[in-house]
Structure 1
Amino acid sequence: MSNNIPVPTEVIVDSYSVNDLLDSVDYSFKGYVPSTDAFSFMNFMRLVLGEEPENKNSLMHYFLFDVLFGHVNAWDYYGIRSDIARPNYYAVMMHREASKSVLLGVMLVLYMAYHGEMPGFGKVQFGGYIGNSVRGGVRQAMQTIAGVYKDSDYLQDKFESAHFTDQAVKFVRHPKKNAKGIITKREAKEGHRTFVMEGYGAMAGPRGSRDGLVRPQFFIIDDVIKNAADARSDVILGNVNQMIEEDIGYALSTSGSFCIYIGTPFNLRDPLMNALIDGTWTPIVFPIAEKISLDLKKKDFMGSWEDRHTYEKVMTKYKTAVHKGTLAAFMQEMMLRVASEEDRVIKDSMLETVFDRYDITHNGSMYNWYITTDFTTTGSKSSDYSAMAVWAVSNNGDYLLVDLIVRKLELKDQYMKLLELVRKYKPMTGYINVGI
């Protein structure tokens, strides 16, 4: 007997990596024309500043806001698909000096405060900003918003009042008259014209936040991992992941909300890296250039913001990093690649990708056998993967990877797996070297 409830036959979530996203970046933005909303936002920013910005905004910036405003599908741009993507959840990874925090953490906030809405979303009254700490990222953001407001004659003329603290900003717009030149009772109410954004530290989170009866309609999460040391801490990473995936979800208004997660990653375990590839966040990634190498010619250079980051400037930074041995940092901060080809200790040319495993195991006595390990203290969801590799080493120094285990395992299970490998490969020569 049918209950007439449709059962999905397939849920499509393409398998992709952050590198796949980066490889798909095309700064020609073929066929893209900025929307009226994107132009409106950029013009608003110019009015706020009272002058033309030092550098012209790139097409990258227009495209970014058209994704956020719902005019462009980022999934199509990167050539991937996910049926489990949450509406209005965006993970934004952009290179350093791309003005992402100023545009998304300051100017977009002022734009919403002035208009009382977010294009493509609707009315916005209350939201939250999450930084690495209240005394750090949150205070800096709130002080920046206050500073921009106080320096802008345009903004001060647009609001009835504005209040600032190190943890919150509040704007009250002037009441608007209707077509008959009358201010309605609803418009006269201050609450109808008020925009509030409160700040929260990443460790405390926004659980239970509200402004009167209004639950947060948005969150802006901005560089919540403070430094490289925090990026290696299981405790901190676990807390941040919980805050992002649980606390924020339960704090947001159930009648409609959006979330923008901004950052530049420290390592592969950075929560932003997971958000970019788990299929539930719409990914937006923009490196400083499509590609880079020592022999890259100017005619082949495709940069994210060439008016500010010219070919000459980018190549100078790149060559300096190569010379000083800091290429990994450049690739991470500017190209958004956690590892780079030229910084690899083991090059592809040193690898023999195909060999006869059957021949090796059946002539095991001709090799020296080793097991190398990289154990973890726990197999929890936020922990690293534990790894065990079995190597057969020939008399001419070839290292042949014969067996490999890479899994999240509890410490007891790791030793059990290791003993299984010893029992399996020790008979080859009667002994096997194990490094733990």
Structure 2
Amino acid sequence: MEHFRSINEKSVDDVSLAFFYKPHTLTLLSVCVLGLLYSAFTRNDDDKDNNLWIGLCWIIFFFLVVSVLAFPNGPFTRPHPGIWRIVFGLSVLYFMVLVFLLFQNRKDVRLMIEWIFPDLKGVSPEDKEYAVNCSTMDWARFYSLFDCFAAAHLLGWFFKALLIRHHGILWTISITWEITEMAFSHLLPNFAECWWDAWVLDVLICNGLGIWLGMYVCRKLEMRNYHWESIKDIHSTTGKIRRAVLQFTPVRVVAVSLLIIVWQLSELNTFFLKQIFEVPPSHQINVWRLVLISLISAPSISIVTFTEAIICVKFGLELFKKTEVSYIVMWLSIQFVGSILCVYLCAVYARNWKWTTLEDGFFMTEAEKEEERLANKMADHIDNGTVPVLQNGTHTTAKLNGFSQSEMPYNLRNRNQKVVRNGHVH
């Protein structure tokens, strides 16, 4: 239950500007209603299309207002919980739109897209061919491939590094994505690339530079690290042995495999959606969708990804009839094998080169090291039945009434440990 609350309703620590963390419900609703009345009674309603568009915009606006007021904080609180409530509201809206589209036909969906984006009328995708004259490799051609899509590669992997924060998983996804392109190139011709374009330009240069920049920013900003549960958090010898054995059980492999496959599926949806609904790659609808997917990746990506995949299958049956089943089976097999290798090699690397002892288990920032020292100091006091407190500017200790060391929550990685203030445990 405590873990559920930390994920769905994370509290804000160290509120310095209380005004921005109070509800202000009546003020917000009053301003919204006044704006609604002004728009409803002053605008010209002769244009039917404009009426529909303005009405939809106000529906979206009020749904996001309700999101700010009623939705939970979610797992993120920076820069402000209200922003992440809006992001979660956008993800719910997008999901409902996808569900609505599931019950339409392809022609009507295309008409809806053209109504929102009139510049798409009569436009079909013009995919660039990359697997042409692969033996010709000079600096002019090499330089011509550094277009907006190369910048998108780099920027995309920068944000993926900010989300995942694990070199092993990032490089596994990067490599397996190129294999994904090869497996689906018979359905999407623009997936066919020259070997040096796929493995040198994409994987090593664009993806590699994006991963390096993202991890560099994580280190510089001392962002929260993602890693396996530390053995230092387990105090019994039996628990440590059990944890070491569980590191290599199928649960870990399946978890990483699902992460990798869902990520590949999310990327595939981008290309299949534009192919099925005949949207040019450079059109703004693709850009806005990628921005939305980037924002909702952490809170609610799974349900959106699978719903998009269902839409692709329903409206792309003619395209998927050309599927080579053997390619897909081979692709899934490679994903699982890659996941197993990822888990195994990361564990071997951590044990032999990264950790100085088995008890280290993770890399800590300076802030985390300080928290670790404080937690260990508190554990020593708990053994004596006291806890350190800061009362009236003086460091002292307070008696623990009814708490034992085994009952005190010790979850440093999730920052859920109890806080002692003014002689009381909160």
TM-score, normalized by length of structure 2? 0.23
Whichever structure has more strand as a proportion of its residues is: 1
TM-score, normalized by length of structure 1? 0.22
